[in-house]
Structure 1
């Protein structure tokens, strides 16, 4: 069983009361939500026991008082930026988020396209939203933002961007990813609210870094690893220490921009800011939920390793630069970790060598090793019938169901029929069954085959399994494994020399 290090119920209770306490001082509080409101896989991995939808459930307790503005950067829509954990573009993720928020009964005020410059794909997306009854606004980039305070807080700055009408005391400003323009949106709204005579406030809800954990705590280092492409670096908040004599952790961008943000808020409101530090602006009470620091530390270390594999793969695919790769390597070394500290890595590599020697091949063998939640390790390799992802899942289900290895869960005739469909009728050059195709075949077989049904019923027990592949997976297989709740990493090696299929 996976050890628990975090109590979500305790955390939600304290977090909710703290936000409500902050709201009492204002007519409206603009609450910038960093990270993911729904499906926060990173937090779930580094804080075993954390509910990945905790932020959403938190807002659900405040739904009578809260509404949401979703920000998305126009250029992210234009270049079809992908949210990696779901494998969907940012514009698609906005649609997903709207559905999720509505499912929790939380009001979605509007979608704001930030730094809009008539981008064609952004226009198409806006039209789709409007035709589905979603309010859409656009904000242009403001010249001199954020340093030229006089220009920003004036007729050529915030005044030029439209005001988004709001009606509830808490306005949550969120987005599908970083650099969405959330802060600028909050400040822009605060300018207009002040002009309307409302008493307004700003607060920031960032899950990481955790301000009251040590600077070099693995949870905070894991945040650096997760944002290595953004060049984020955790630092001691010197403003906080000078004001209160208390050590607090924040990250470089917040600390660097704090004096400017403070001046903007003071310029907008005409009053001295109540905030003495960027940490003051935050409302995060995450530490209150940590009930076993050692469990959390170990989980965070594993996340650092997982992120190192992800960066190496992005570099191989041309999605990350050398600076990012080197920075990730430094983080790994400073944490006294190596990639082989991830349990399924060596079993996958060792079995690949064994298979290679057995068949007398000089080619790299595609192998996946899975560490099941019960601690047992199984492997699967690519064969003529199925790829390594499918084989590993099948072997894992057989072990969990206590089905002997020599027993076929799926008749070879069924697999061969699917292969003929792929190659003869669908003109695929890849005859092997993928993980998704294997699962569909297993689901169908489970209707008439009691043994297949036993294995099929074990699918929920794959959640939280850790897996490693000796080759880069196809996006389809990667997403299938993630949907099953399996955390997958892989070596930065393509399975073949074919450029198109890679």
Structure 2
């Protein structure tokens, strides 16, 4: 039986995206500054809403153009000073910059320099700059400009972009990326356009980001899923009125691009007499909307992502991270698409298991359609119990048959409670997997279950109560998407005796 084709045609996407970038380079005939929005790699959101899309797709596209490009990474000095942390990796922005450099080297992609935007002479900023210098990475300072982006006269002057360090580049394609939003990528691109113009070089600009998908409707689930994923940024999807007025074509953009476009247009007009772009949509090179091969399957994946984001928003609202306005927004989105929390397959089984056992419980929906459950006990967290039962299912092991050495479990619990000061000795997912690996050396059932771990990828887990962050991280590493009810068993689940 032939394997069913995914609803997103990844190879077609790579081809279209490369062609779009090459066409834009040809259009500007010299040098193109390509701003990268969103994630360069580890784009799990895109992979969930576009089944068939690979998480490192943008890096793969760049790898096909590696001989023609170099990469500049931007970081805002204010993010260095405040120690801003990415929500997905848990890394500070400066650590994320270094991680990006390492990851890009794996693709044989050249990171030529780091630009520190809104530069300040501050100890933490200077320390980071020295650190990069010790790694043989060039750094440049770009300064904050009063009334940016409105005061075009000041911006395009010696007291504006003219104050910035001149960033040295040698390739025809310069990719400008950052560790997260607010890194100053557009300002760096425009500053380099300005510097080139002072040296009689006519360079160009374009933007490459996966979402929003401009050629789909404003209310398409793919665009709504993007809006749900960016509640913390308060991104608002809008019709690109510039595009509609000039081309009489509906296109989807968002508030930040629509707000920034007038500066981009006026910069080109001031430097070259005319702007090559009449809308934010026109300046983009995104081709993701042209590689969808199964519209219904994509919509279904997006609806599941919105429900998943809904559960996350419930918890973040309770924690004070997302305001009530953000929660109301995603609730309206759910109503518009006629979605309910119970439409996520593991939700009802998890709640029923918890009600029956009178304790925290989790349900894990597997790729083969089977849903297994697990409850919190003295031995295991609910997530760990669900993973054990999933591995038993795949390995054909009876549910009552033990997979783990009882002596090992007891030894680890004593270590956790007596030596490490934990109140709870229950093994988490990571500890269960390590125990399974050790037990597998002498137990055939455990050995068979260990081989089944890759089959967990793509699973969907829901818990009746908040899950420990260590379990969430391990489950995510296994390729399992996690949601939970915003119900706590204690104020701080990782608390210790001392």
For the pair 1:203 / 2:206, whether they are aligned, the reply is yes
Tell which deviates more after alignment, 84-93 or 440-449.
84-93
* Residue 178 of structure 1, aligned match among 161, 170, 181: 181
CA distance in 1 between counterparts of 2:114 and 2:398 reads: 54
Root-mean-square deviation (CA, aligned residues, Å) is 1.7
Aligned pairs for 1:57-206 (under 5 A) are: 57-206=60-209
The Cα offsets for residues 407-443 of structure 1, whole Å up to 9 and x where unpaired, read as: 1111211101011111222232231111111111111
Residues 238 and 395 (structure 1 numbering): CA distance in 2 closer, same or farther, change over 3 Å? same
Q: Look up the SS of the partner of 2:490 in the other structure.
A: coil
Choose from 239, 248, 251 the match for 2:251.
248
Residue of structure 2 equivalent to 1:303: 305
Deviation, 1:292, is: 0.3
C-alpha distance after superposition, 1:172-230 (max 9, x if no partner): 11112112111111111111121122220000112111111112110011111111222
Query: Does 2:412 match 1:448?
Result: no
Partner of 1:380: 374
Indicate the larger mover: 1-10 or 436-445.
Answer: 1-10
Determine which of 385, 392, 401 is the counterpart of 2:395: 401
Shift of the 122–339 alpha-carbon distance from structure 1 to 2, 3 Å rule, reads farther
CA distance in 1, matches of 2:4, 2:364: 15
Q: Which moved more, 1:428-437 or 1:394-403?
A: 428-437
d(CA) in 2 for partners of 1:305 and 1:122?
40
Aligned residues: 493
Judged with a 3 Å threshold, the aligned counterparts in structure 2 of structure 1 residues 175 and 498 are, in CA distance, closer, same or farther, namely closer
- 1:3/1:295 contact within 8 Å kept: no
TM-score for both structures, normalised by structure 2: 0.95
- 2:368 and 2:438 mapped to 1: Cα distance? 27
Q: Is the 8 A contact 1:34 1:205 kept in 2?
A: yes
8 Å contact kept, 1:75–1:119 = no
Tell me which residue corresponds to 1:485. 479
Equivalent residue, structure 2, for 1:260 = 263
1:495 aligns to what?
489
Alignment match, 1:272 = 274
1-side partners of 2:103 and 2:336: how far apart? 39
SS in 1 for 2:67: coil
Classify the secondary structure of the residue corresponding to 2:311: helix
Aligned to 1:214: 217
Question: Would the aligned equivalents of 1:60 and 1:105 in 2 still touch at CA under 8 Å?
Answer: yes
Q: 1:499: how far off?
A: 7.7
1:41-56 counterparts in 2 under 5 A? 41-56=44-59
Which deviates more from structure 2 when the two are superposed, residues 346-355 or residues 318-327? 318-327
Q: Which deviates more from structure 2 when the two are superposed, residues 178-187 or residues 488-497?
A: 488-497
Aligned partner of 1:362 in structure 2 is none
Q: Which runs of 5+ in 2 are unaligned?
A: none
Identify which of 450, 453, 457 aligns with 2:451: 457
Equivalences for residues 415-454 of structure 1 within 5 A: 415-454=409-448
